[in-house]
Amino acid sequence: MSPLDLRSDTVTRPTAGMRDAIARAEVGDDALGDDPTVRALEARVAELLGKDAALLFPSGIMANLTAMLAHTEPGSEAVAERSAHVVDWEDCGAAHFGGVQLRTVQGDGGLLDPDAVRAAIRPAGPHHPRTRLLCVENTHNAAGGRILPLERLRALRAVAAEHEVAVHLDGARLWNAAAATGVPLTDWGSEADTVMVTLSKGLGCPVGSMLAVPAALEARARRLRRRLGGGMRQSGVLAAAGLYALEHHRERLTEDHARARALADACEGLPGVRVVPPETNIVMLELADAPAVAAALRERGVLTSVFTPTRLRAVTHLDVGDDGVARAARALAEVLGG
């Protein structure tokens, strides 16, 4: 039996329908502006997020980096949540490539407090760094796919606006937040200056992330993407997968959420584990020894990721059905001796 892979929602393989869309994609040289499928995807994502333009990137990390570079200058600061992806998982890209210092603020379960953000924004004057940017993440990966409620995002945006600080939304899993809450994507999009969304996670594409930007930032973002080596050629083959996924794989995200809840429920009451109640498709299990439990699960054909020494992450996605959840629940019960 092939292993059940719950390490991430990035492990999905393109479906037959998606492969068919890829095979039929009309393409051209996108660096020359000639790829009609890329243009169609960029227009579609801009429309969904209520922005003037969107750019296709090879990865979310490159799209986040482009946004951070676009909003800052060397020797300035960006504020981000303590366990944000841009802080913990992007290898200091903003510092390395942009000379930007990240000032972190501890959130409550990943949720930033507007007053704490206000306090982290530097006072004007020649003696402090200039705060240029606030980065927010929705859903919050390390907090277990936690949704940043729209009201909270609004409050954070208002604080940033008081100080002329731009807001970048790392929405790698914004699709999940929108599917779980029913809040339209444009509502989230209007509360940030730039928005990154990922095609290669819950939506099930092989490659690709998008950065949605206002018209005033489009040329700068395109130039930065090129500088980072993110300009691509016949990338319509990737864009075709993205268009297909936006059409066919967005509504089904609520199925992933229901399966994550089912898995969490199955773990409830097992000895030695505390479950972080999932709001979307990420189940975080607090355990005394996460690596040992992950190894024992692996022996039973269930792959999870060791998020921290005491935290195991299991993510539901397109390639996990009800049978997969049942299999994972059985393996966990065996390993934890419930």
Q: Kindly list the residues in this chain that would bind ligand PLP in the complex (CB under 6 A).
A: 59-61, 64, 85, 137, 141, 170, 172, 198, 200, 209
Beta-sheet pairing, 302-303 with 209-213: unpaired
Distance of CA 145 to the CA centre of its chain: 9
Closest approach of ligand PLP to the CB of residue 230, in Å:
11
The residue sitting closest to ligand PLP, measured at its beta carbon, is: 60
Q: Select 200 or 304, whichever has its Cβ closest to ligand PLP.
A: 200
Closest approach of ligand PLP to the CB of residue 170, in Å:
5
Selection from 226, 194, 223 nearest residue 210 by Cα: 194
Q: How far apart are CA 145 and CA 110, in angstroms?
A: 9
Q: Select 46 or 87, whichever has its Cβ closest to ligand PLP.
A: 87
Closest approach of ligand PLP to the CB of residue 299, in Å:
27
Closest approach of ligand PLP to the CB of residue 123, in Å:
30
Which pair of structure tokens corresponds to residue 311? 């935290």
Beta-sheet pairing, 53-57 with 100-105: unpaired
DSSP string computed for 96-143: HHH-EEEEEE--BTTBPPHHHHHHHSPPSSTTSPEEEEEEEESSBTTT
Q: Select 10 or 15, whichever has its Cβ closest to ligand PLP.
A: 10
Q: How far apart are CA 320 and CA 213, in angstroms?
A: 33
Closest approach of ligand PLP to the CB of residue 42, in Å:
17
Three-state SS at 283: strand
What DSSP state is assigned to residue 196? Answer: E
Which pair of structure tokens corresponds to residue 90? 């992007």
Considering Cα of 144, then 147, then 152, then 156, what sign does the dihedral take? positive
Q: Select 107 or 329, whichever has its Cβ closest to ligand PLP.
A: 107
Closest approach of ligand PLP to the CB of residue 34, in Å:
25
What DSSP state is assigned to residue 30? Answer: G
Q: How far apart are CA 185 and CA 167, in angstroms?
A: 16
Q: Select 37 or 139, whichever has its Cβ closest to ligand PLP.
A: 139
Q: How far apart are CA 252 and CA 328, in angstroms?
A: 21
Q: Select 206 or 338, whichever has its Cβ closest to ligand PLP.
A: 206
Closest approach of ligand PLP to the CB of residue 14, in Å:
16
Considering Cα of 224, then 225, then 228, then 234, what sign does the dihedral take? negative
Q: Select 22 or 172, whichever has its Cβ closest to ligand PLP.
A: 172
Closest approach of ligand PLP to the CB of residue 209, in Å:
5
Q: Select 276 or 332, whichever has its Cβ closest to ligand PLP.
A: 276
